[in-house]
Amino acid sequence: MLPKSDEEANKNTMKRAVANDPVALSSMGTKRYEEGDYVGAFEYCTKAAELGDAMAHYDLSHFYQEGLGVEKDEKMRLYHLERLPLPVIPRLDINWYVSAVLCVLFCVAGPCCSVALGALCWQLLWVFFESLILTIKLLCNAVTTKYGRQVIA
């Protein structure tokens, strides 16, 4: 059953986090991050990573890279990147699939419909390529961290 309000959804997520659900813990970490509570976000993501959540490892690598909620540490950043399964698919990657499908649809129908629809096609194409580039960077970095070097900054 779907929650009827945001408050109910937050309570459900918190119950799952208390029960050590790694996805809920990672979700709480993301929420804390968005609120600017980097220490809290780091703690939730650490617990989720200990329970095997791959995205929590990705998030922790970012915390260590940027020094958010923790001191910058290149060795720990690489440690968490090495724990990612291949291929590395970030949360943003849904944009890749959605924009690819919409791009094809709008590029075919766009010229027949309107200038605004054509402009939307170009925006979707941009999102598609940004997501594709991000995925390639993450894959290259995850593969090369075992050799102690980073291919793409």
pLDDT for 118? 58
CA-to-CA separations, 80 to 9, 19, 35, 76, 129, in angstroms, rounded: 29, 24, 23, 6, 26
Token pair, residue 101, equals 């499908």
List Cα–Cα distances, 62 to 8, 38, 51, 78, in angstroms: 30, 11, 18, 10
pLDDT at 49 over 80: yes
The pLDDT score that the predictor gives to residue 37 is: 95
Using the predicted structure, report yes or no on whether residue 8 has a pLDDT greater than 60. yes
Q: Exposure of 108 by Cβ count < 10 A (0-12 exposed, 13-18 middle, 19+ buried)?
A: exposed
Residue 153: pLDDT band (50, 70, 90) is very low
pTM score of the predicted model: 0.56
Question: 124 vs 101, 113, 118, CA distance in Å?
Answer: 9, 16, 10
pLDDT in tens, 106-150: 566 555 555 555 566 666 666 666 666 766 666 666 555 444 444
- Predicted confidence (pLDDT) at residue 81 exceeds the cutoff of 90: no
Buried b (16+ CB within 10 A) or exposed e, 115-145: eeeeebbeebbebbeebeebbebbbebbeeb
For the beta carbon of residue 68, count every other beta carbon within 10 angstroms: 16
Specify the pLDDT at position 92.
47
| Average pLDDT estimate for 30-49 | 93
What pLDDT, on the 0 to 100 scale, is given for residue 13? 85
- Cβ atoms of 54 and 22 within 8 Å: the answer is no
What secondary structure does DSSP assign to 79-99, as a single string?
HHHHTSPSSP--TTHHHHHHH
Q: What is the pLDDT confidence band of residue 52, given thresholds at 50, 70 and 90? A: confident
